[in-house]
Amino acid sequence: MSYLISITFIIMFLGANITKLNCFKNLLEPRWGTSSLIAVSAINALTVLQLGKTLPISASFTYALITLIFIVEIYILFKGDLVTKLAVGLITPLHIMAIKVMIMSWYGIIIGSSYSDILDTVTLHSALRVMLYFLLLLCMVAITKVVEPKYSQVIQDHPKRVKIFAILETLLVAQIIILSVVMSFLDYNFGLNVGIFITSFISLAMFYMGIFMTLGFEILESYQWKSSAKASDSLYKNMLVQKSVHTLEIDCSTQTILSLVIEGKPQESLVGEYYDTAVYGITKNKLHPDEAETHNLHLSVDYMRRCASEGKKYYDFDYRLQEDDGSYIWYKAYVMIEQEEGSDYGHALVIIHNIQHEKELLVSATTDSLSGLYNKQTTEDLINEHLAQQQTGALFMIDVDNFKAVNDNLGHDMGDHVIQEVASKLHHVFDTDSIVGRVGGDEFMVFMKHIDDTTINEKAVQAGQLLYTTYSKEDIKITISASIGVCKVSADVNTFQTLYKAADNALYHSKRSGKNRFTVHTKH
């Protein structure tokens, strides 16, 4: 029985001491690694166990020796100033003494025995010591939850606080040693035991009050910040859910669906199903090819797990799904990851919004409604954005010859048709990387980002040939063509304003030279 109690004692001691030392690594810089902490903890466990067996009567000497052991432990294992190490070193012996005095006085009240009578009963004393170190372990875990690495800077910035805290601990340790001596020499007395229990409890409470006085403001600020962050997260989440088309909660550990709501209707039949299979069933053959890869990556559990491991809590992305009539609708997926404490993964909440209306508003704000090309302002912004990163490209200014005659003789409906055809032909001539916009009326602008002199001539010729078209209505025939001015980005011409001016001058040179031709800006 005593052997089993000893083993249990060592386990409890090791657990409490290793927890404590790992916590103190947040405040002090360790000299060695974790293996050294475990080795020293094991030596101390055996030492304290032996002290309890060989010196059970002299409480004052035993406690003084225990205090010395734990202070030396901190001085050996950690770097730092002496006062901080003293304050940290006194934490364990203070808890051991206070908790032991409380247990002994409490148990003495229950069985009506004095302190010395309990010490004489070796098995009982050993069992109470196991209880002591179990409670010590709980206290160390509690301290670990409170003392975070960021408080190390607080200790460095406020040495006076630490000094006062160390003095408080020293006084509390001295007080408890005196209480232990008093208990060991007096016979059982109910009132005395109650008084000693309360005094020890108050000593421990004063210790935690001392921690609060040392780190209190920072702990409160941290708690308030976390509470505020949680409230903001909750509000943000509720706002998203209220506007959602689909809401999906996933267990990233088991890769199963915890809940699924589609258009306000819970899909209970899919709860517990394998997540990837369910999502594939919903989006099967409906994803737009341009967004399929992005969608599948960002909604995969592996990607969510990677984000969780990197501390990334939120991300979103847009994609299109095909409707029954063949049209595509834009959606935005908001993904929120909540990593569970002690787990590498956690839960993910996926909220899907229909953003077709927002996309349409964006398109109407950035494009020309008739041609479907970028409007003048958007074209200018995109060109400026490119030039801010790379000094390459060429600007084509394109004017439709005889367009006024189309409007005057064939009608404005035909004029609108011509504008739409010109826009389509320009998209055909220039690559998808080019910026194609309508400046206004019959004038268009194209910026090719990467181009050489040969390609400039080729594209100008192709555009002229393709735009040369005859339109007719009854007996009236009108032929349109294109006058083109081109300017290539150079050291002297490298902003939108200078490019626009040079290409526009080249365009009007083509007009004055007889139309249906192109002119490339050259340095004079």
Q: Could you please report the per-residue DSSP string of 155-212?
A: HHH-HHHHHHHHHHHHHHHHHHHHHHHHHHHS---HHHHHHHHHHHHHHHHHHHHHHH
- Alpha-carbon distances of 305 from 114, 177, 255, 278, 350, rounded to whole Å: 59, 52, 10, 18, 14
Domains of the chain with CATH codes: 2-222 (no CATH), 243-361 (3.30.450.20), 367-520 (3.30.70.270)
Exposure pattern of 88-112 as b/e (b: 16+ CB <10 Å)?
bbbbbbbbbbbbbbbbbbbbbbeee
- Give yes or no for residue 272 having a pLDDT over 90: no
Are 27 and 84 spatial neighbours (Cβ–Cβ below 8 Å)?
yes
Are 431 and 468 spatial neighbours (Cβ–Cβ below 8 Å)?
no
**Residue 509, token pair as written in the block:** 């040179």
Exposure pattern of 488-519 as b/e (b: 16+ CB <10 Å)?
bbeeebeebeebbebbbebbebbbeeeebbbb
Instruction: Provide the pLDDT for residue 235.
Output: 44
Q: 360-372 pLDDT, tens per residue?
A: 877 778 899 899 9
Assign 125 to helix, strand or coil: helix
Instruction: Provide the pLDDT for residue 226.
Output: 47
At 89, give phi and psi (nearest 5°): -65, -30
pLDDT band at 2 (very low <50, low <70, confident <90, very high): low
* Interval 449-455 mean pLDDT: 89
What's the pTM value of the predicted model, to 2 decimals? 0.44
Q: How far is residue 507's CA from residue 518's CA, in Å, rounded to a whole number?
A: 7
Instruction: Provide the pLDDT for residue 224.
Output: 47
Q: How far is residue 103's CA from residue 115's CA, in Å, rounded to a whole number?
A: 10
Instruction: Provide the pLDDT for residue 236.
Output: 46
pLDDT band at 519 (very low <50, low <70, confident <90, very high): very high
Instruction: Provide the pLDDT for residue 278.
Output: 74
Instruction: Provide the pLDDT for residue 228.
Output: 44
Assign 81 to helix, strand or coil: coil
Q: How far is residue 292's CA from residue 45's CA, in Å, rounded to a whole number?
A: 60
Instruction: Provide the pLDDT for residue 125.
Output: 65
Best mean pLDDT range from 107-116, 158-167, 248-257, 461-470 = 461-470
Are 488 and 520 spatial neighbours (Cβ–Cβ below 8 Å)?
yes
Q: What is the mean pLDDT of the chain?
A: 82
Instruction: Provide the pLDDT for residue 153.
Output: 64
* Interval 200-212 mean pLDDT: 83
* DSSP-derived pairing of the beta strands 394-401 and 443-448: antiparallel
Are 300 and 294 spatial neighbours (Cβ–Cβ below 8 Å)?
no
Percentage with pLDDT > 90 across the chain: 26
Are 442 and 400 spatial neighbours (Cβ–Cβ below 8 Å)?
yes
* Interval 139-144 mean pLDDT: 78
Are 92 and 44 spatial neighbours (Cβ–Cβ below 8 Å)?
no
Instruction: Provide the pLDDT for residue 227.
Output: 47
CA angle 342, 272, 314 (to 5 degrees): 50
Q: How far is residue 215's CA from residue 211's CA, in Å, rounded to a whole number?
A: 6
Instruction: Provide the pLDDT for residue 524.
Output: 55
* Interval 116-139 mean pLDDT: 73
Q: 349, 281, 287: which is closest to 318 by C-alpha?
A: 287
Q: How far is residue 380's CA from residue 371's CA, in Å, rounded to a whole number?
A: 17
> Of all helices (H) and strands (E), which one includes residue 141?
helix 122-146
Instruction: Provide the pLDDT for residue 435.
Output: 95
Are 99 and 136 spatial neighbours (Cβ–Cβ below 8 Å)?
yes
Assign 513 to helix, strand or coil: coil
Beta bridge partners of 283: none
Are 258 and 249 spatial neighbours (Cβ–Cβ below 8 Å)?
yes
Are 115 and 210 spatial neighbours (Cβ–Cβ below 8 Å)?
no
Percentage with pLDDT > 70 across the chain: 85
Q: Which residues contact 86 (CB under 8 A, 6 or more apart)?
A: 71, 166
Instruction: Provide the pLDDT for residue 383.
Output: 95
DSSP 8-state assignment for residue 33: -
Least confident among 114-118, 153-157, 443-447, 493-497? 153-157
- Give yes or no for residue 376 having a pLDDT over 80: yes
Q: 215-230 pLDDT, tens per residue?
A: 655 554 444 444 444 4
- Give yes or no for residue 234 having a pLDDT over 60: no
Q: Which residues contact 168 (CB under 8 A, 6 or more apart)?
A: 206, 207, 210
Q: What is the dihedral of CA 400, 403, 406, 408, to 10 degrees?
A: 180
